[in-house]
Every structure is written in C-alpha cells, then in structure tokens.
Amino acid sequence: MSALRQSLASYLAVRRSLGYKLERPEKLLGQFISWLEDAGAATVTTEHALAWATLPGRDPYWHAYRLAVVRGFALHLHTTDPAAEVPPAGLIPARPHRATPYLYSDADITALIAAAPGLRFPLRLATYQTLIGLLAVTGMRVGEAIRLDRPDLDLATGVITVRQSKFGKTRLLPLHGSTVTALRDYLRLRDRLCPRPATPAVLISPAGTRLLYCNVHATWKLLAAAAGLQPRSAACRPRIHDLRHYADGWVMRPAVAFRLLGAEELALQSA
C-alpha cells in the first residue's frame, strides 16, 4: 500500500470515529489517488487537485464538491507531510442547487414495479420490486433499505428497525399489512433461490450479496426509463431518493406498490 493510500485509510478512520459515514468521499478520494499515481505525483498539490476536480463531465457545483473532498484530505495529510498543499477554500465558486422533488403518482409506482420483469434473474427482479415498494410505502432512504438485516425485520409485529440513520439515529417504522405480506413472499422466494446468502441483508443480489448503492442507482435508471418516467424540468428528474416522499412522511398510504402480483409469481413468470 502506498503512503498516500495509508494516509487515506488513516483519514477515513479518524473521520468515521467522529460519526461520519464518508461513502462518497471514500470513493472519490480513491479515484483521486489513482489519478495522482497515474500522473506520477508523490503528494497532493493544489494544481493536481484542481485539475482532477474539474475533469469534464459535470457541472461547477460537482467540481466544487470534488475539490472540497480533496481539501479535507489534504488538511489531514499536511499534518504528516509538509509538502502536501491544501487547496484554498472557495477556489471553485459554485452555489449549491437543490433538486426539485419528483412526486410519484400511484401509476408511476405501478409502472416502475411492472418494469422489473425486464431485469435478468428472478431474484434480481423480486429484489428490486421489493426495494421500490418498500421505499415508496415507508419513506426509507435507499441506504437505510440496503443496510437492513434480517433481525431488523419483525414481521410478527409489522415493524422495521432502521439503524445507522441520519445523524446515527435508530427509529422504528410500522408496516401496512400488505407490505408485511409482500416482504414474507419476497423472503420465501429469496430463501428458495439463494438458500445460503453471503450476507445477513434482507435485500440481496442474485449472487447472495448485499446490494451496492451504485448498482441500485444504475438499475433504477433502467427501470425509470422502461417505466416511461420523464423529467418535469431541468431540476425535477425521477430520482430513487424521491420515492420516500410518496409515503407522505409518517402517514402510511395504501400499499399500492404491492398490489400487482406476489413477488414469487412474478419471478416465476420471468424465469
């Protein structure tokens, strides 16, 4: 392991000990260090940080975010490597912009779930139908859903325990009866198709592993396109995150997401 990667591991460990999750910064900093290694750079410089942060493909706000991630790491690195340069704050001026929530109708949710049979593998089909339905009727965040483990699911009482939520909090979510039925159907199917998964996660891939955040978003784009969902403006595009607004916060709406066919029947139809 290179000195830069050792410093990155130390930086992430210190920050996580303070309660930060750093999933995206870890990925970006890993890419930045790979870029430095390809450029033959031994440490962080402002010139290299700016060049990497402004690589083509995204808007100025994304460039500013990438540079801010590098700046945090550079501050840490400079304590042990005086040659490391810390990019000045505000080097890339950019105002943050918030996306306009994409509010889904019952028909939109039904179309998304109906698009799932286009996915390969029966277990992948059932997993994404269940994920979309669960997000829609509970208001969970994507990261919370893919972190769910079997002990977090109490179907006897119809309650989900959400751990490692925002600000490290834990909360309980009540489930609609139809959601409990759908989850039981999904678990029965996944246990038959993958009797020995490699993870305690509720939602698993065909390989029996926990879902990855990046793969969920890639699959979401396929499903949204297949369902015919269109942007309503430049700032209002169909995002998986906005499924949580469908549940109207704590007011549970009828579980429209699970009104099609049972997960097992759908999976068998696509097998």
The full DSSP string for 183-202 is HHHHHHHHHHH-SS-SS-BS
* The pLDDT value given to residue 176: 82
Over residues 132-157, the pLDDT tens digits come to 989 988 888 999 999 999 999 999 99
> Cα(143)–Cα(134) distance, rounded to whole angstroms?
12
166 part of the active site: yes
| Torsion angle (degrees, nearest 10) of CA 249, 255, 258, 259 | -150
> Cα(40)–Cα(264) distance, rounded to whole angstroms?
53
> What is the DSSP secondary structure assignment for residue 177, as one 8-state letter?
H
Across all residues in the chain, what is the average pLDDT? Answer: 86
Provide the β-strand partners of residue 204: 210
> Cα(75)–Cα(149) distance, rounded to whole angstroms?
36
pLDDT beyond 80 at 251:
no
Average pLDDT of span 162-190:
85
Residue of higher predicted confidence among 201 and 249: 201
Task: Output the CA–CA distances (angstroms, integers) from residue 87 to 37, 44, 74, 75, 239, in the order listed.
Answer: 19, 9, 8, 9, 32
User: Which residue in the list 16, 150, 166, 232 is annotated as catalytic?
Assistant: 166
pLDDT beyond 80 at 171:
yes
141 part of the active site: yes
What is the token pair recorded at 14?
């210190």
Average pLDDT of span 233-256:
68
Over residues 65-108, the pLDDT tens digits come to 999 999 999 999 999 999 999 999 888 887 666 788 899 988 89
pLDDT beyond 60 at 116:
yes
pLDDT beyond 70 at 260:
no
User: Which residue in the list 5, 141, 163, 253 is annotated as catalytic?
Assistant: 141
Over residues 14-25, the pLDDT tens digits come to 999 988 888 889
| Helix, strand, coil percentages in the chain from 3-state DSSP, rounded to 5 | 55, 5, 40
> Cα(271)–Cα(265) distance, rounded to whole angstroms?
10
Average pLDDT of span 168-175:
84
> What is the DSSP secondary structure assignment for residue 164, as one 8-state letter?
S
* The pLDDT value given to residue 240: 92
What is the token pair recorded at 116?
């799932």
Q: Tell me the angle at which helices 213-226 and 122-138 cross, rounded to the nearest 10 degrees.
A: 90
pLDDT beyond 80 at 250:
no
What is the token pair recorded at 163?
């751990």
Strand order in the sheet with 159-162: 153-154, 159-162, 171-174
Rounded to an integer, what is the distance from CA 124 to the centroid of its chain? 16
